Every structure is written in structure tokens, then in C-alpha cells.
Amino acid sequence: MTAPAPESLTHLDVEGRSIAVKRLPAAQGSSGPGLFWLGGFMSDMAGSKAEHLATLAATHGLANVRFDYSGHGISGGAFDEGTISRWLGEALAVFEATTQGPQIVIGSSMGGWLALLLARELQRRGQGARLRALVLIAPAPDFTEDLMWALFPEEVRQVILEQGRFLKPSAYGETPYTITRALIEDGRTNLLLNAPLSVGCPVRILQGGADEDVPWQHALRLVTCLAEDDVVFSLIKDGDHRLSRPQDLERLGVAVAEFV
């Protein structure tokens, strides 16, 4: 097996939005699955977990795809025009345009929600076999409803309803999160945790016990919904939401390597 070609940066047009994609082709002769990364809310493909996976893929001669949603990183589009449905559409478009064969889809936080929605859509299209596994890091399905709207004070809800947006302070930087009415209302059309869910492939969940953004109890609700699938839930007691410490990245690599 020869070494893979260098990672390339391209831009994919999705409904008039320029989506930045980094793609590492598989090494010649490789028969392993590809890795497909789905980042979190206001994250980008240059984060430590995405970089770690790209290095892991290169080491094993695997294909690797990562990209920025519109309004994120170096992609075009405005963040405050984004919704779960829009970002899911972009994920599906990138998946269709850049991947071949079975894939391990790795989703972090909001990316975990999108990974589950992507799996459901692939099943609907009769392409469920494209998924080797889902590896979810602090998955946040339904976060717009359960972890935002339900927890917002009434005055914040009124601001969103009347002004269309609310600037929510971020614990990870000076730039606040723009929470729009469109994001909340669209999120309600993509809720998953109120009914059984089957993705048709193994699921591995890494969850921090000290996560203040996505409490471990929220991620555990997902396990109860995935009653038909092979699911392993790993609780890292002292782990935070990012799970990007060296020991956390090592755990991520082990979870991915199970299916390689």
C-alpha cells in the first residue's frame, strides 16, 4: 500500500454557497473505510479533533473528508442564516460528492445530531450500507429545543420571537453565538429524541461527565432511542464538552480504529 496523496482544499457549490472541503484520498491499495468529519456549532475543520482524525487517516492510508458548514470557518454564507436543515443539506452534498464506499462518520456536538440525521436520510435512500459506523463526541441531538429554548428565560424567548435573534455569550471566545428564530423553529422539524431511532450501524459515543454544554444525561437519552443498534456509551468522568485533551484524542482514535 502506497502513501496517500496530500490533503487538498476545494470549494463545493451548494445552492449558491461556497463550502470549503479538505479531502485526503485513500492510499493506493487501501480497502479500509473512509473517515467523514462533522464539526460542531460555531466550530471549524481546523480544530484539534478534526486535525487528529486527518493525521490518523494519513497514518493508516484511509480517505478523510472534513469541511466547514456555511457561515463557519472558511466557507461562504452567513452564520445567522444557518439552520439544522441547511447544514444537513450541505453535509449530504459533501458526502455524495467526495466519498466512495463505506464511511465512518464522526460527529461532534451538533455534528452528532447531523450524523444521525445523515444516517437516517441515507437509509431512506437505500444507502444505509455506506455507513460502517457512527462515532459521536458529546452528541447534541435536539439541542436547539432541549438545551437552548427550554432553558432560556422568558425574556430571552421574547427577544428571539420579536427581534428574530439573540446573542448568547460563548464560553469559548469573545464572539457570542447568534441564536435565531429560524434556527429554533427549523430545529423542531429535525427532533430525534422523542421516538425510537435506528441508524443501521454500530454507534460509539464519547461523553464527558463534566460537560456543561451537553450534560451526560442528555447524551444518555440518545442511547435509549437507539434500542435496535449496537451502541457503546463511554463516560469520561472528568471530560469537558470539547474532549480534546491528549487522552481524549487517544480515546477517539481507539473508537475509530475499532472499525478500521
Q: Which of 68, 142, 146, 211 is catalytic?
A: 211
230 is catalytic: no
- Amino acid at residue number 100: Q
Q: Give the β-pairing of 165-168 and 177-180.
A: antiparallel
Pick the closest to residue 140 from 170, 117, 168 (CA basis).
117
109 is catalytic: yes
Q: Which of 60, 72, 218, 241 is catalytic?
A: 241
- Amino acid at residue number 193: L
Cα 71 from Cα 49, distance rounded (Å)? 20
Pick the closest to residue 134 from 33, 45, 42 (CA basis).
33
Q: Give the residue ranges of DSSP H helices in the chain.
A: 48-60, 84-98, 110-124, 143, 154-163, 181-187, 216-225, 246-257
Long-range contacts of 178-183 (CB under 8 A, 24+ apart): 178/79, 178/80, 179/148, 180/80, 182/81, 182/83, 183/82, 183/83, 183/84, 183/144
Q: Which of 30, 43, 108, 109 is catalytic?
A: 109
Catalytic residues: 109, 211, 241
